[in-house]
Chains A and B, each alone.
Chain A
Amino acid sequence: MNNVEAKFILQGYRPDGSDAADATFSAALEQARVDPALGDWFAREQAFDRAMCAKLDQVRPPAGLREAILAGGRVTEPAGHRRAWWQHPALLAMAASVALLLGVGVAFWPKQADASAGLTEFALIDALHSETHGGHGDKTGELQAALSQPSTHLGGQLPVNFAELRNAGCRTVRFNGHEVLEVCFKRDGAWFHCYIAQRADFPALVAAIAPSLVDRNGTSIASWEDSSLLYVVVSKTGRSALEKLL
């Protein structure tokens, strides 16, 4: 790579360092480190970009825009079937989530921290839209098969290699800036959704060692932890179905 090529790449490097982990820039960054002329150019380029970012950051939307957007959102009806708001499935699902969360919050209080309820909420909402789940990767098939076996009891340590599953394309969802694995599995004809988070990513979470189980309006949720992982399993087929897994 000559310096012209290196400059072409480096001018796309964000000055706040967001691209530091991007391998695309590695060779060019190394070249800038060892080549004084390129290094000086890069330092000037970054300073210029930083100054531009700071100026753009000073631009503020006009007063009232936020309120106008929010007001518009309140009176905008989602496309599709025209029903009364209380008949809309999405709102019903949301309402069910709220009811369930209230139940979860009461049942877990004070044992579980707010952040844990946040993860539970996140899992519940995601599970309510399971029609969008997919792309679990090859390695996930082994875990799905294990979870689907009647002999596999949840509530303890599961055969999960977090990094391997993530790298193999297991579906992930992002919660509070960290990835959480999601695996759908079927037992006795019913679907369950298992969310797996790394304890190290959520040090504030305090889950019960023994499985905690709560159900509301036909939806049940179990949560537990082992030495390195946090687990949340959501069932839309009721408490008894979930109890059989534990």
Chain B
Amino acid sequence: MASDIFNQLVDAHYTPLFRFALSLTKNSSDAGDLTQQTFFIWAKQGHALREAAKAKSWLFTTLYREFLRGRRRSERVTALEDLGPVEADPPAPEVDVVTGMDAGLVVEALQEVDEVYRAPLTLFYMQDLSYKEIADILEVPIGTVMSRLSRGKAQLRAALARKEAGQRGKVVPFQTPSARKLS
């Protein structure tokens, strides 16, 4: 029965947890380790949590804390909170551009967003959690989540625009038999 509960928990949450971890760590291998570590902590301690409805928040909170614990806090993260107001309506790439982009490229753009904004933004785009739940997980006030979403989206749009420009400017080698002879 305990094993069944654990299996159900893993099946229900390991994919969104991995996505969140990937956005934080920017590395699939580290994201896998972080996801695994989160469930390891559940196996050690989480069994004390009896309300199944709270398991999701517990897992996301634990993953985020483990991520913060596992890396040195950089001064830059704090400094970014002191930036000025968000640029009003930054130029956004067309939705078609996002839709046409490879998912990996979109995730890369998301990973270029500063961490302090990236965490709430990723949780928001996973759609599993309300902004109130996101505030609980990140342990910040609701207004801060809203503010970080706003700034995060602005950075994301800029990153997507750079990715799009990079794609347009990419030179695709045109190889012909004659070209190979010349090279």
Residue from A8, A48, A95 in contact with B92 in the complex, judged by beta carbons closer than 8 Å? A48
**What bracket does the count of chain B residues touching chain A fall in?**
35 or more
CA–CA, A14 and B128, complex, Å: 9
Chain A residues in 8 Å Cβ range of B131: 12, 19
Inter-chain CA distance A8–B35, complex, in Å, is 32
Interface 9-mer from A50-58, A147-155, A160-168, A218-226: A50-58
Which of A41, A70, A97, A126 is in CB contact (< 8 Å) with B7?
A70
How far is A62 from B92 in the complex, measured between Cα atoms in Å? 31
User: Do A18 and B127 touch across chains, with their CB atoms under 8 A apart?
Assistant: yes
Closest residue of A by beta carbon distance from B32: A65
On whether the beta carbons of A16 and B43 are closer than 8 Å, the reply is no
- Residues from chain B with a CB closer than 8 A to the CB of A76 are 40, 43-44
Q: Which residues of A contact B106 (CB under 8 A)?
A: 52, 55-56
Checking A12, A14, A60 against B146 with a beta-carbon cut-off of 8 angstroms, the contacting residue is: A12
Are B125 and A53 neighbours in the complex by a CB distance under 8 Å? yes
Contact of A110 with B by CB under 8 A: no
Contact string against A for B residues 78-101, beta-carbon threshold 8 Å, 1 for contact and 0 otherwise: 000000000011001001001101
Residue B19 lies at the interface, judged by CB distance under 8 Å to chain A: yes
A113 at the binding interface (Cβ < 8 Å): no
- The stretch of B45-53, B60-68, B69-77, B167-175 in contact with A is B45-53
> Which secondary structure dominates where chain B touches chain A?
helix
A54 to B6, CA, bound (A): 28
Q: Interface extent on A, as a size class?
A: 35 or more
B28 close to A56 (CB less than 8 A): no
What residues on A are CB-neighbors of B88 within 8 Å?
A: 4
Q: Does A59 contact B (CB under 8 A)?
A: yes
* Other-chain contact of B99, A54, A65, A78 (Cβ < 8 Å): A54
Residues of B that sit less than 8 Å from A by CB: 1-3, 6-7, 10-11, 14-15, 18-19, 22, 28, 32, 35-36, 39-40, 42-45, 47, 50-53, 88-89, 92, 95, 98-99, 101, 103, 106-107, 110, 122, 124-127, 130-131, 145-147, 149-150, 153, 156-157
